[in-house]
Amino acid sequence: MPVFEPPIKEEILGGGLVLLEEMLGDDLTPAKIARISYLSEGDEEANRKLLIKLLHMKHFSPFEQQVFRFKIEGIPMYIGEQLLRHRIASPLKRSFRFTSPDKGTTIEYTPDSLNKIVHIPPEFFNLRESHIDNKDELIQDIINHIRKSVELYQKLVESGLRKEAARTVLPAGLRTSLYWTINMRSLMNFLEQRLSPKAQWEIRELAKAVVRILYRVVPLTIDNFLKISGLEKYYRE
């Protein structure tokens, strides 16, 4: 079985990254836990077979004993809000009540530099197919809009307004960070919803980054789960 050596890092296409910092259990933990029902024992090969059987039977309660703590950095605020909808998890998100978008540094208003602070749609970096004709003009419009928002925020704060109130003018695409602790059963539910083509592109790329990490620490579980649930083709897209 793979040896977990934290942190395990995966970049998110379009910006941001996922780090697995801690993990409770290993690839065969759900099978070992499941044996308490019959007070049975099994060697590694027997547990591998049992794990796959549990996935086929959709007997997911043993997977609640397998827990991951991720640090997710640099995702748009609205993607962070989508993560919070997966309620059987424990999130702790960066607060813009107490932090500024520029983190005390000077913002460079170029597409690549700005994209590290505020999410710019992937179409403008040719990461996703689009039919936008006037990209150069529109990217400049986006940059100017963000510049005005940040400058107004800074002006409000410097004038004495609370950061928690001044943030009302900041862009929705402002990048944020959070810790996300979640068990494997809830993580599988997340992947069922967020790997789907119906999900937003940005959160699909986040889900793919999570899958790439899982392949490094629980390959038997994630490989069989994706195949059994029919999600493998979406992960490969």
Domain ranges in the chain are: 8-92+175-236, 97-169
- Identify the pLDDT of residue 87: 80
- Identify the pLDDT of residue 6: 85
- Identify the pLDDT of residue 104: 60
Provide the b/e sequence for 42-73 (b: ≥16 CB within 10 Å).
eeeeebbebbbebbeeeebebbebbbbbbbbb
With H, G, I as helix, E, B as strand and everything else as coil, classify residue 67.
strand
Q: Does residue 194 have an active-site annotation?
A: yes
182 within 8 A of 190, measured Cβ to Cβ: yes
- Identify the pLDDT of residue 139: 96
Torsional sign, CA 33, 35, 40, 43: negative
Torsional sign, CA 79, 80, 83, 84: negative
- DSSP string for residues in 49-77: HHHHHHHHHT--GGGGG-EEEEEEEEEEH
176 within 8 A of 71, measured Cβ to Cβ: no
The helix (run of H) or strand (run of E) holding residue 20 is strand 17-24
| Rounded Cα gap, residues 215 and 48, in angstroms | 15
Compute φ and ψ for 179, nearest 5 degrees: -95, 145
The contacts of residue 127 (CB under 8 Å, 6+ apart) are 13, 14
Catalytic-role residue among 167, 175, 194, 204: 194
148 within 8 A of 156, measured Cβ to Cβ: no
Order of all β-strands in the sheet with 90-93: 8-11, 17-24, 67-76, 175-183, 90-93
75 within 8 A of 12, measured Cβ to Cβ: yes
The helix (run of H) or strand (run of E) holding residue 185 is helix 184-194
- Chunked mean pLDDT (size 10), the chain, 237 residues: 87 97 97 93 95 97 97 96 89 87 79 94 93 93 95 95 94 95 97 96 98 98 97 92
With tokens 């083709």, the residue in question is 233
- Identify the pLDDT of residue 50: 97
What kind of architecture, by CATH, is found in domain 8-92+175-236? 2-Layer Sandwich (3.30)
With H, G, I as helix, E, B as strand and everything else as coil, classify residue 1.
coil
Q: DSSP character for 150?
A: H
With H, G, I as helix, E, B as strand and everything else as coil, classify residue 70.
strand
Provide the 10 A C-beta neighbour count for residue 7. Answer: 14
- Identify the pLDDT of residue 71: 98
